[in-house]
Amino acid sequence: MPVMVQGICHRGLILPRASPVGPMRGYNRRLSSPTESSLPMYTLARQLLFKLSPETSHDLSLDLIGAGGRLGLNGLLCKAPAKMPVTVMGLEFPNPVGLAAGLDKNGAAIDGFAQLGFGFVEIGTITPRPQPGNPKPRIFRLPEAEAIINRMGFNNLGVDHLLARVAAAKYKGVLGINIGKNFDTPVERAVDDYLICLDKVYAHASYVTVNVSSPNTPGLRSLQFGDSLKQLLADLATRRAELALRHGKHVPLAIKIAPDMTDEETVQVAQALIETGMDAVIATNTTLSRVGVEGMEHGDEAGGLSGAPVREKSTHTVKVLAAELAGRLPIIAVGGITEGKHAAEKIAAGASLVQLYSGFIYKGPALIRESVDAIAALR
């Protein structure tokens, strides 16, 4: 990496006991201050890893986390987060803080990430066939903004390889598998790729995320709008019904969206998700905006911007979704969480779960516990 409640489940979402109806969902309004920013050990590791190119340090970190996981050592790296069980999408999570997609695209270090204390792990984005992604360099650090710009382009080893990694993992917790389309599949045929991946991962995933929001696959984001979105979701819903019968289990489908839509477009997405019976929405992916990084080294690189600069946009998207969904579908919030209090802000905005990516790169595993504590303080 350096790249670069206790509640009652009702239609898949947390309804804390005796909670008032409203965006706070029973958490009280006190936002905790950060308990710790990062462990000294991680600060040292980060100093060393940040001397390498972002992608080299990403690959090395993934190897180390994977090796630590196989040896069962990662739990020693940081104090385990407090237990904070939540039920969302009908699934039980030990805590509401998960690993966001893209860090472990091939499922290489599932046990390692789980041992760091994540309440759930999302792997992918995976495509039907392996593909190399965009030419390097394609990840850029902007440390003064606690940000990353990436244009990886779904580099991955393909869905079959990912499934072999899932089979080899010991992890029995909540595993999300994030699916996408191959670069060379025309966008009009994108649904074929999503269905191939859905068929293959269905039996092995706790939930499946449909990624229609990466800015690095040309045309992909067009699937978030109008009839394209409705058709895609309807096709996925039909296939899911068949798979549910075949496998005897209902695997929730979550749709991951961009932070760059207008409020009206976000509302339309929310309506389409309800109409087609989707189970959750993940908000958000990276942004095309460069607000907050103008004039910085790498600030004008092409790709998606993540980390602190996307925080407000992402949280705004969560608020718009929460107002429209009114509790009918849970929201998984991701984007710009670099301190525990930002995780709590996402929950206060209407999310039921959060995920970390860039903040984890900059702050290390201590951010997981800090986020859990800050969310717990909302109760």
Where along the sequence are the contacts to ligand FMN (CB under 6 A)?
3-4, 100-102, 105, 125, 139, 148, 150, 152, 178, 211, 214, 256, 285-286, 306-307, 310, 334-337, 356-359
214 annotated active-site: yes
* CA–CA dist 298, 196 (Å, integer): 36
Q: Which is nearer to ligand FMN, 102 or 252 (CB)?
A: 102
In angstroms, what is the minimal distance from the CB of 97 to ligand FMN?
11
Crossing angle of helices 226-247 and 263-275, in 10° steps, is: 30
**Least distance CB 345 / ligand FMN (angstroms):** 13
89, 254 Cβ separation under 8 angstroms = yes
| Nearer residue to ligand FMN within complex by CB, 105 or 181 | 105
Token pair for 41:
């050990």
Position with the least CB separation from ligand FMN = 102
Which residues are paired to 97 by β-bridges?
Answer: 354
User: Which CB, 107 or 335, lies closer to ligand FMN?
Assistant: 335
Contact (Cβ atoms closer than 8 angstroms) between residue 81 and residue 122: no
> Residue 371 Cβ, how far from ligand FMN at the closest point, in Å?
11
Tokens representing 151? 């244009």
How many residues does the structure list for the chain? 379
Nearer to ligand FMN (CB atom), residue 265 or residue 312: 312
Give residue 232's identity as a one-letter amino acid code: L
User: Considering the complex, what minimum distance in angstroms separates the CB of residue 161 from ligand FMN?
Assistant: 15
Chain position carrying tokens 């706070």: 24
Q: Which two tokens stand for residue 216?
A: 């690095």
CB atoms within 10 A of CB 193: 18
| Active-site annotation holder among 57, 61, 206, 214 | 214
Catalytic positions, please? 214
